[in-house]
């Protein structure tokens, strides 16, 4: 008896290995998948400008990185005792203006370097709803709690989503023609927009994204949203806020991602990394015992062996 409707996902012919370099951009779900990649010690960089929810925000960040934009005092503003940038998440905001500008420029420069060498990009838009600053007519990535009256709220049509995704693809491949780009729609629900409006938003993302991916051999779709909607159709797979997938759901999606996008030749190494991390988290009953001393010696030997395969991995 089958009690779910499974989502079929083909194995990628260009999977991720420990030799791969990954750049992940997008919503908080991009951070969830990146935490898994980092746990297993893959080479992954996530959201240099913080969480970016809309395709437009992701597109703008990539355009800045490819063009080598230099941020200045004109790109930041002061609000609630901190300096902010409308193109970056509030996690980057800083009480010191020059320090924020220097941080933005460092991050954009580092992102360009990473984009030029990355083998895989994971792009995860979360919403088609966007905010436009009324006085500048510019779309913003984050409102930074500036009064809502200073913005107009609108949503990207499927055609606008398609145009934004095509621009993302073109700019990435302009800099890095051999990169593989994995798109996925965040399953996180944006209920502050309204239940109906959230569905409208996800529908526009899905429609526009699939339109953009037609005829793009370097680009692929991973069905995170569909897995949650069809295989995990139950509130027990949501966190207490009823918006974010809980850890069980994230683990389930990760297993699907591994099966589709991680090279099978790396599974043994992943198991060993997992074993080392669990061993490091172990709290001994008697840290001065001979048994614990031998345990630490064995663990140090295992770490040395894995570092021969993954010299950049740190287990501190």
Measured distance CA(120)–CA(262) in Å, rounded: 11
Q: What is the largest CA-CA distance in the chain?
A: 70
Beta carbons within 8 Å of 112's beta carbon, 6+ residues apart = 65, 66, 68, 175
Q: Mind listing the pLDDT tens digit of every residue in the chain (316 residues)?
A: 777 888 999 999 999 999 999 999 999 989 999 999 999 999 999 999 999 999 999 999 999 999 999 999 999 999 999 999 999 999 999 999 999 999 999 999 999 999 999 999 999 999 999 999 999 999 999 999 999 999 999 999 999 999 999 999 999 999 999 999 999 999 999 988 889 999 999 999 999 999 999 999 999 999 999 999 999 989 999 999 999 999 999 999 999 999 999 999 999 999 999 999 999 988 888 888 888 888 889 999 999 999 999 998 888 7
Which strands make up the sheet holding 219-221, listed edge to edge? 43-46, 21-26, 120-124, 180-183, 219-221
Measured distance CA(224)–CA(124) in Å, rounded: 9
C-alpha distance from residue 217 to each of 14, 166, 169, 212 (Å): 11, 13, 11, 12
C-alpha distance from residue 110 to each of 7, 98, 113, 308 (Å): 36, 18, 5, 27
Concatenate the DSSP letters of all residues of 234-259 into one string.
SGGGB-TTSSSB-HHHHHHHHHHHHH
- The answer to whether 101 touches 72, Cβ cutoff 8 Å, is yes
Measured distance CA(138)–CA(70) in Å, rounded: 18
Q: Which single residue is written with the structure tokens 């069809």? A: 230
- The answer to whether 88 touches 49, Cβ cutoff 8 Å, is yes
């Amino acid at each position: 008896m089958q009690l779910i409707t499974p989502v079929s996902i083909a194995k990628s012919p260009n999977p991720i290995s420990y030799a791969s370099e990954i750049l992940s951009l997008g919503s908080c779900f991009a951070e969830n998948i990146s935490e898994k990649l980092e746990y297993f010690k893959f080479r992954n960089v996530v959201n240099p400008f913080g969480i970016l929810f809309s395709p437009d925000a992701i597109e703008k960040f990539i355009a800045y990185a490819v063009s080598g934009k230099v941020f200045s005092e004109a790109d930041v503003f002061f609000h609630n005792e901190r300096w902010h940038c409308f193109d970056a998440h509030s996690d980057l905001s800083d009480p010191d203006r020059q320090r924020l500008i220097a941080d933005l420029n460092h991050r954009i420069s580092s992102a360009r370097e990473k984009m030029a060498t990355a083998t895989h990009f994971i792009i995860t838009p979360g919403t088609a709803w966007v905010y436009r600053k009324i006085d500048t007519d510019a779309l913003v990535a984050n409102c930074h709690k500036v009064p809502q009256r200073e913005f107009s709220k609108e949503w990207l049509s499927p055609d606008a989503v398609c145009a934004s995704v095509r621009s993302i693809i073109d700019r990435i491949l302009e800099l890095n023609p051999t990169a593989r780009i994995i798109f996925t729609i965040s399953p996180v629900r944006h209920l502050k927009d309204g239940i109906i409006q959230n569905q409208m938003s996800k529908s526009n993302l899905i429609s526009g994204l699939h339109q953009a991916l037609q005829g793009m051999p370097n680009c692929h779709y991973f069905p995170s949203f569909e897995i949650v909607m069809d295989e995990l159709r139950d509130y027990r797979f949501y966190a207490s806020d009823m918006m974010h997938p809980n850890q069980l759901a994230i683990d389930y999606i990760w297993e699907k991602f591994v099966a589709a996008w991680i090279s099978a030749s790396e599974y043994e190494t992943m198991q060993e990394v997992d074993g080392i991390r669990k061993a490091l988290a172990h709290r001994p009953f008697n840290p001065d015992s001979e048994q614990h001393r031998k345990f630490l010696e064995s663990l140090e030997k295992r770490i040395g062996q894995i570092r021969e395969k993954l010299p950049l991995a740190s287990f501190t």
